[in-house]
Amino acid sequence: MLTLDISQLRSFLPQDGLDAYEERLKQAATWISTHTGPGGDFTGWIHYPREYDKEEFARLQAASKKIQQQSQVLVVVGIGGSYLGARAVIELIQSPNYNLKQKDTPDVYFAGNGMSTDALLETIELIGDRDFSVNVISKSGTTTEPAVAFRIFKAMLEKKYGKEGAKDRIYVTTDKAKGALKGLADREGYQEFVVPDAIGGRFSVLTPVGILPIATAGVDVEALMAGAAQAMEELSTPGMDNPVWQYAAARQALYDQGKKIELLVGCEPCFRFFAEWWKQLYGESQGKEHKGLFPASVEFTADLHSMGQYIQEGERLMFETVVQFAPRGNITIPNDPENVDGLNFLSGKSLSFVAQQAMQGIILAHVSGGVPNIRIQMPQISAQSVGYLIYFFELACGLSGHLLQINPFNQPGVEAYKNNMYALLGKPGYEQLRAELEAKFH
Ligand code: PA5
């Protein structure tokens, strides 16, 4: 399903440079698959494509059908790992223009992923007087951004449909036992889905966190899980022939050589949000103890006209990981009898052929400019291939996090801003911190 090409690392790494990481990868793979080692409590995603709760999955599919029948809009309230995966998959498979398309599934709007008043007002305006449902997603159940947005949409639903009617349109995805959202859902009798204990937000796209919105948008979620299960089987073989071991080792080898940035290169506009998901996965997993590659993203060829100069000739800080999918259709470039633009040498050729040649040229130029290149080639975008790619990147993230010798599965740095915000907003229990922060400001 996935082909990894690391041939363009040759001029940057010593011969057999990746083999040096084999023993540490063996250790990392064992830690992850046996739920041991640093962060072992949060490796529930490793066998999830085989072990997920099938009864809950059926309930998710039934809920998505009900939303499709009952509503023209689904509002997905969540932030970080509680929304990026769903948005990434919907945009990649169904299009970033999904909401604009003629379809028999609801529009999906994402809210509660920031503090923008204007964005929230716009979402409310876009819903208009259409029927809508809400899926609020928060593992902790206490994150401020989604909690505030949920208050607003819950009040709107209750105003429009009454308390009982609103209850029939609210779906809560949260911890199985704790958190304010869990308490509210139990009290109000909302339909609930569980974020598994052993899976952190950024690894949760294949759990109910992602599945309910993704299924509501009409994606074949069984095929998505089947793709992930295929990856789980194929990528579990130990050894340096395994592409996920190669990718994890290559990232670390380049980091050890002084590279500071990994640029994820997409070739499709619909890949942009997948890159956002990937950035969270790697940034939040590996940016620790003053270590880690900075995950950035670009889209080729569009961004060659904005970032291409820097990539070719700026600081030699980065390497590229290009992800290419086979096209889902075909466009042939027409002949122009007058050949005004001088492009008749392309007449009759397919646009995808031109794109392939362009990518080849870009890679060679960047490599000769000092930017190592890793290339991932995928078949057409489909639920199956996307499920496979998600699992590939999750596993590579865990493995390469262990090579970096950090705990890839916690996120202590995210708490710092949350605590400051609670203190400054006057949350009870944060008085001492508030006094300390105020002293710093004055
Ligand atoms: O990946 C993570 O752990 C974070 O991005 C969380 O998903 C994010 O902070 C939202 O947290 P919660 O789901 O608890 O509201």
The per-residue pLDDT for range 230-260, each reduced to its tens digit, is: 999 999 999 999 999 999 999 999 999 999 9
Is the per-residue pLDDT at 442 higher than 90?
A: no
For the chain, the residue count is 442
Could you tell me the pLDDT band of residue 421, with boundaries at 50, 70 and 90?
confident
Whether 418 is catalytic? yes
Query: At 137, which helix (H) or strand (E)?
Result: strand 132-138
Buried b (16+ CB within 10 A) or exposed e, 271-294: bbbbbbbbbbbbbbbbbbeeebbb
Cα 139 to ligand 1 centroid, rounded to whole Å? 7
CA distance 270 to 96: 6
pLDDT digits (tens, 9 = 90+) for 59-80: 999 999 999 999 999 999 999 9
Catalytically annotated residue among 305, 315, 338, 442? 305
Cα 430 to ligand 1 centroid, rounded to whole Å? 21
Identify which of 284, 409, 414, 417 to mutate to test ligand 1's pocket (most ligand atoms within 8 A of the CB). 414
Is the per-residue pLDDT at 310 higher than 90?
A: yes
Whose structure tokens read 């619909």? 270
pLDDT recorded at residue 412: 85
Is the per-residue pLDDT at 416 higher than 90?
A: no
332 φ, ψ to 5°?
-100, 135
Q: Region 255-267: what's the mean pLDDT?
A: 97
Do the beta carbons of residue 311 and residue 318 sit within 8 Å? yes
Whether 65 is catalytic? no
pLDDT recorded at residue 415: 80
Nearest CA to 435 out of 382, 366, 424, 5 is that of: 424
pLDDT recorded at residue 215: 98
Task: Report whether the peptide linkage leading into residue 301 is cis, meaning its omega lies within 30 degrees of zero.
Answer: yes
The residue whose CA has the least distance to atom 15 of ligand 1 is 138
The residue whose CA has the least distance to atom 2 of ligand 1 is 201
pLDDT recorded at residue 323: 98
Is the per-residue pLDDT at 50 higher than 80?
A: yes
Cα 432 to ligand 1 centroid, rounded to whole Å? 25
pLDDT recorded at residue 245: 98
pLDDT digits (tens, 9 = 90+) for 137-163: 999 888 999 999 999 999 999 999 999
pLDDT recorded at residue 413: 84
Q: Region 37-44: what's the mean pLDDT?
A: 97
Domains and CATH numbers, the chain: 3-34+226-403 (3.40.50.10490), 48-219 (3.40.50.10490)
The atom of ligand 1 lying closest to the CA of 146 is 15
The atom of ligand 1 lying closest to the CA of 143 is 15
Structure tokens at 313: 């000739």
Q: How far is Cα of residue 274 from the mean position of the Cα atoms in its chain?
A: 5
Could you tell me the pLDDT band of residue 169, with boundaries at 50, 70 and 90?
very high
Strands 373-378 and 3-5: antiparallel
Catalytically annotated residue among 91, 192, 262, 284? 284
Do the beta carbons of residue 265 and residue 299 sit within 8 Å? yes
The atom of ligand 1 lying closest to the CA of 209 is 13
Cα 78 to ligand 1 centroid, rounded to whole Å? 8
Whose structure tokens read 């994402």? 110
CA distance 397 to 262: 13
Whether 234 is catalytic? no
Pocket around ligand 1 at a 6 A CB cut-off: 79-82, 138-140, 143, 146, 200-202, 284, 411, 414
Cα 141 to ligand 1 centroid, rounded to whole Å? 9
pLDDT digits (tens, 9 = 90+) for 320-336: 999 999 999 999 999 99
Mean pLDDT of the chain: 96
Identify which of 136, 140, 204, 407 to mutate to test ligand 1's pocket (most ligand atoms within 8 A of the CB). 140
pLDDT recorded at residue 48: 98
Percent of the chain predicted with pLDDT > 70: 100
The atom of ligand 1 lying closest to the CA of 78 is 15
Concatenated DSSP letters for 112-134? SSS--HHHHHHHHHHHTTS-EEE
pLDDT digits (tens, 9 = 90+) for 90-127: 999 999 999 999 999 999 999 999 999 999 999 999 99
Percent of the chain predicted with pLDDT > 90: 92
Do the beta carbons of residue 244 and residue 233 sit within 8 Å? no
Cα 369 to ligand 1 centroid, rounded to whole Å? 38
pTM of the prediction?
0.96
Is the per-residue pLDDT at 441 higher than 90?
A: no
pLDDT recorded at residue 372: 98
Do the beta carbons of residue 433 and residue 420 sit within 8 Å? yes
Is the per-residue pLDDT at 347 higher than 90?
A: yes
Do the beta carbons of residue 359 and residue 303 sit within 8 Å? no
Q: What region does 26 belong to: left with phi over 0, alpha with psi -120 to 50, or beta?
A: alpha
Could you tell me the pLDDT band of residue 25, with boundaries at 50, 70 and 90?
very high
pLDDT recorded at residue 141: 87
End-to-end Cα distance, the chain: 58
The residue whose CA has the least distance to atom 12 of ligand 1 is 138
The atom of ligand 1 lying closest to the CA of 418 is 9
pLDDT recorded at residue 248: 98
Helix runs in 206-314, H state only: 208-216, 221-234, 243-256, 272-286, 308-313
pLDDT recorded at residue 422: 87
